[in-house]
Amino acid sequence: MTTIISPKQFSPVEDAENIRKACQGWGTDEKAIISILGHRNLFQRKLVRLAFQEIYHQDLLQQLKCELSGNLERAISLWTLDPADRDAVLANETLQKSDPDCRVIIEIACIRSPEDLLAVKRAYKFRYKHSLEEDLASSTTADIRKLLVGVTSAYRYEGDEFDETVAQSEASTLHQEIHGKAFNNEEVIRILSTRSQAQLNATFNIYKDIYGHSITKGFPGGDYFSTLRTVIRCIRDPKKYFAKVLRSAINMEETNEDALSRVIVTRAEKDLKDIKELYLKRNNISVDEAVAREWSGDYKTFILALLGADQN
């Protein structure tokens, strides 16, 4: 979504030198750093980081952490990381908290492609010397642990094919297991952690046809069912899910910069344009306008750069 400099104008050495220059003197020139990194694609950012290391024998990320602070430092650091490394960092950060934000894990497990999820798990193991599943199991308990470890351990089929007979059978199974008198999460977790997105969406559609409402309607209360609802929403319609996360992050009484940064940074080079259109349709205000209204300073400038608003 961010507006990218053309390859002919791009020089990783020049970018590295200009970032270094922005970090020298009495104060950091945040706007100069934003004007560079906020307009470079994944491949270009990787080359800038390599050039910076080669010229100054220092990791660009370490330099940014020393020179920037707060929400701006976090957002730019996440943006500069490779996607698999970024997701590994996001996962580890939330698992270190006393009350982990399960949404972070679910987004990685249920929205990333099977190959991307595998890359995240490799990056996590390399960085932290534990498997993601191991740390996840240590940081969660009971049914939530079973559900999250299940979906994180998955390697789903990625094709569009599905079996309608299986979908009908498993729609009935899900209804019985979720709403029956003797709740049993084993079958629910088996279905949600092994079936492809296409197969699960067929199951969810048949469920609605049979029972007259979406599968998440009428869920009992509690943390487990809240987590289960997020898993289903991420599988069923990721763009709609992200639009809702943005709305919550922006409209909460206390704005949630972690959620805003996570969605914008991770989706900017994926499907942010579609998410922005959904947001506008549902909220009658663009994400760009909402961000400009609620935030100020260099953090706002950077987020708007990723949204492409600074080029409108």
Domain boundaries, the chain: 12-68, 83-153, 164-236, 239-307
d(CA 267, CA 49): 21
d(CA 103, CA 163): 29
| Percent of the chain clearing pLDDT 90 (strictly above) | 88
Task: Please state the three-class secondary structure of 49-77 as a single string.
Answer: HHHHHHHHCCCHHHHHHHHCCHHHHHHHH
| Percent of the chain clearing pLDDT 70 (strictly above) | 95
- pLDDT tens digits for range 214-227: 999 988 889 999 99
Task: State both tokens at 47.
Answer: 């080359």
pLDDT at residue 65 tops 50: yes
pLDDT band at 184 (very low <50, low <70, confident <90, very high): low
25 labeled binding residue: yes
One-letter identity of residue 112: R
pLDDT computed for residue 143 by the predictor: 92
Task: State both tokens at 216.
Answer: 């998440």
- pLDDT tens digits for range 9-62: 899 999 999 999 999 978 899 999 999 999 999 999 999 999 999 999 999 999
Q: Are 159 and 198 in contact (CB under 8 A)?
A: yes
297 labeled binding residue: no
Q: Quickly count helices (H) and strands (E) in the chain.
A: 19, 0
158 labeled binding residue: no
Q: What average pLDDT does range 130-136 have in this prediction?
A: 97
Q: What is the CATH number of domain 12-68?
A: 1.10.220.10
pLDDT at residue 311 tops 60: no
- pLDDT tens digits for range 90-128: 999 999 999 999 999 999 999 999 999 999 999 999 999
pLDDT computed for residue 1 by the predictor: 67
Q: What average pLDDT does range 186-191 have in this prediction?
A: 94
pLDDT band at 160 (very low <50, low <70, confident <90, very high): very high
pLDDT band at 202 (very low <50, low <70, confident <90, very high): very high
159 labeled binding residue: no
- pLDDT tens digits for range 237-256: 999 999 999 999 998 877 89
d(CA 6, CA 311): 14
27 labeled binding residue: yes
38 labeled binding residue: no
d(CA 111, CA 108): 6
* Residue of higher predicted confidence among 252 and 230: 230
CATH architecture of 83-153: Orthogonal Bundle (1.10)
pLDDT computed for residue 227 by the predictor: 96
Q: What is the CATH number of domain 239-307?
A: 1.10.220.10
Q: What is the rounded average pLDDT for all residues in the chain?
A: 94
pLDDT computed for residue 236 by the predictor: 97
Q: What is the CATH number of domain 164-236?
A: 1.10.220.10
pLDDT at residue 187 tops 60: yes
Instruction: Dump strand ranges (E) for the chain.
Output: none
pTM comes to 0.94
**Same fold flag, 12-68 and 164-236:** yes
pLDDT computed for residue 185 by the predictor: 85
